[in-house]
């Protein structure tokens, strides 16, 4: 076959364009080929206020990202937010009393879920118990809302003044 | 005096709508019909080389520099708020949503659109289009259609390259020169960029821009006055009109997509 420079460069051009699209999808948008269900396990957390936590917000254990928020919805019965958390299967020895709290990175940064592991979680027979796929946990700490904090502060100020009089 | 003013206004209005109608008919005649792949595919590949491959260099170099400038300017502002971690989302979102499709389309209009107009205008001036018709070859199908499809395919691919190179340019400045942590940069980027919301919608823009630029360039060439001055006028018109249309439609699309 005769080498055709024009067709060769056009082929390279098309391949480079498609490769750029794939790299954008994988590296920049963070899409994964595996679909993820095999490498993650799902835990549901009942919160009372999630602040500005979003879908895909990171879940961090000691600052290291170990998973992400997969979905956020409201339980129609309790009217409280339920956060679906996908956690990497490598970290499958989180005690069942582990606390999940909504934290903020930096002063104005994004909100994320911080994990505080509990190493003394036992089931009824005294064996260590871990969070499993599909578990629901109530050990959560809600986001700090600035207005509520200020409201409490002002309330405590005024009540302190009243008692002084 | 007022009568002639109204007359000239009417003449302009009529000629504007006539041009619009001619442009639509030209597009329909060149695109609608039984495709002749065996005969037109080699021309398509040739045009892909002229519009796509030869634009790669300018697209990549400008993408790199735009990304680097965004990284530098973004860093200088964000560092005042100790928010350097947001540089990744800043660079990647602004490039994927706006700068990538728009700047690539503007460059493409200047680099490839003007060349298309000049080429077809000269074909018309030297009566090559009429000669094709004399030989019972439809110039719309033989000349216009492959050029249109080649540009239509090239620009989205060029936009992908532009966006990728731009984001890596921003990463180079932010991470490698100014010392933002690489993990922070990519985690922030991946958390902020949604595949459908940002990448796919940016590409929708780019496809529409490709359509606009190719259509304007081909029509201006096809309908130019067959003189030296006419060709120069048509080439200028191509760059001006397609740039303005791209920027205008960018606003409309942004308002539709990201509100």
pLDDT score of A107: 67
pLDDT score of B154: 94
Contact (CB, 8 A) for B191 and A57? yes
Q: Which residues pair with A84 in a beta bridge?
A: A44, A71
pLDDT score of A35: 47
Other CB atoms within 10 A of residue B37 CB: 8
Q: What is the ipTM of this complex?
A: 0.81
Mean pLDDT (whole number) for B80-91: 85
- Chain B residues lying within 8 Å of A9, measured CB to CB: 49, 53
CA angle at B159 for the pair B198 and B83, rounded to the nearest 5°: 50
Tens digit of pLDDT for each residue in B26-61? 888 888 877 777 888 888 899 999 999 999 999 999
Tens digit of pLDDT for each residue in B93-119? 999 999 999 999 999 999 999 999 999
Dist. CA B142–CA B234, nearest whole Å: 21
Mean pLDDT (whole number) for B53-81: 92
Q: Who has greater pLDDT, B160 or A106? A: B160
Q: Which of A7, A20, A110 sits opposite B164 (nearest CB)?
A: A20
Q: Kindly give, in sequence order, each residue whose CB lies less than 8 Å from that of residue B226, ignoring residues fewer than 6 positions away.
A: B121, B124, B125, B127
Judged by CB atoms closer than 8 Å, whether chains meet at A20 and B56 is answered as no
Tens digit of pLDDT for each residue in B193-239? 888 888 888 999 999 999 999 999 999 999 999 899 999 999 999 99
pLDDT score of A32: 61
Nearest residue of B to residue A70, measured between CA atoms: B191
- Chain A residues lying within 8 Å of B158, measured CB to CB: 17
pLDDT score of B17: 92
Dist. CA B13–CA A136, nearest whole Å: 68
- Chain A residues lying within 8 Å of B157, measured CB to CB: 13-14, 16-18, 20-21
Tens digit of pLDDT for each residue in B170-198? 999 998 998 888 877 887 888 788 888 88
pLDDT score of B245: 95
pLDDT in tens, chain A (165 residues): 678 888 888 889 999 999 998 888 888 777 664 444 557 888 898 888 888 888 778 888 887 878 888 888 898 988 889 999 888 888 888 888 888 888 887 666 678 888 888 776 777 777 778 888 888 888 888 887 778 888 888 888 888 766 655
Mean pLDDT of chain B: 90
Q: A113 CA to chain B: closest CA distance, Å? A: 13
């Amino acid at each position: 076959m005769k080498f055709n420079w024009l067709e060769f460069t056009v082929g390279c051009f098309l391949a480079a364009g498609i490769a750029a699209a794939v790299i954008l999808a994988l590296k920049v948008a963070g899409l994964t080929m595996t679909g993820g269900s095999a490498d993650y396990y799902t835990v549901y957390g009942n919160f009372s206020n999630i602040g500005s936590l979003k879908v895909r917000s990171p879940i961090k254990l000691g600052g290291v990202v170990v998973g992400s928020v997969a979905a956020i919805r409201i339980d129609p019965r309790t009217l409280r937010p339920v956060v679906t958390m996908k956690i990497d299967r490598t970290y499958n020895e989180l005690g069942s009393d582990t606390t999940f709290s909504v934290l903020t990175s930096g002063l104005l940064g994004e909100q994320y879920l911080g994990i505080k592991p509990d190493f003394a979680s036992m089931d009824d027979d005294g064996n260590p118990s871990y969070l499993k796929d599909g578990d629901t946990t109530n050990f959560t700490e809600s986001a700090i809302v600035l207005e509520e904090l200020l409201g409490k502060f002002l309330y405590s100020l005024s009540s302190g003044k009243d008692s002084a009089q | 005096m007022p009568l002639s003013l109204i007359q000239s206004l009417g003449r302009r209005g009529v000629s504007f709508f006539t041009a619009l109608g001619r442009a639509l008919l030209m597009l329909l005649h060149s695109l609608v019909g039984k495709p002749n792949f065996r005969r037109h595919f080699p021309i398509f590949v040739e045009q892909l080389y002229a519009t796509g491959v030869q634009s790669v260099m300018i697209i990549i170099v400008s993408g790199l520099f735009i990304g680097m400038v965004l990284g530098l300017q973004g860093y200088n502002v964000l560092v005042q708020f100790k928010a350097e971690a947001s540089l990744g989302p800043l660079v990647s979102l602004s490039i994927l949503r706006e700068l990538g499709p728009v700047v690539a389309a503007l460059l493409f209009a200047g680099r490839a659109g003007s060349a298309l107009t000049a080429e077809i205008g000269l074909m018309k001036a030297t009566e090559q289009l009429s000669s094709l018709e004399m030989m019972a070859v439809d110039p719309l199908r033989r000349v216009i259609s492959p050029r249109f499809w080649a540009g239509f395919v090239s620009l989205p691919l060029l936009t992908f390259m532009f966006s990728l190179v731009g984001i890596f340019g921003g990463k180079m400045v932010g991470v490698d020169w100014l010392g933002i942590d690489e993990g922070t940069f990519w985690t922030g980027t991946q958390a902020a960029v949604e595949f459908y919301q940002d990448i796919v919608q940016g590409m929708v823009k780019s496809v529409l821009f490709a359509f606009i630029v190719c259509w304007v360039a081909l029509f201006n060439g096809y309908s130019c006055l067959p003189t030296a001055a006419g060709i120069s006028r048509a080439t200028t018109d191509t760059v001006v009109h397609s740039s303005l249309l791209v920027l205008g439609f960018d606003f409309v699309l942004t308002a539709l997509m990201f509100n």
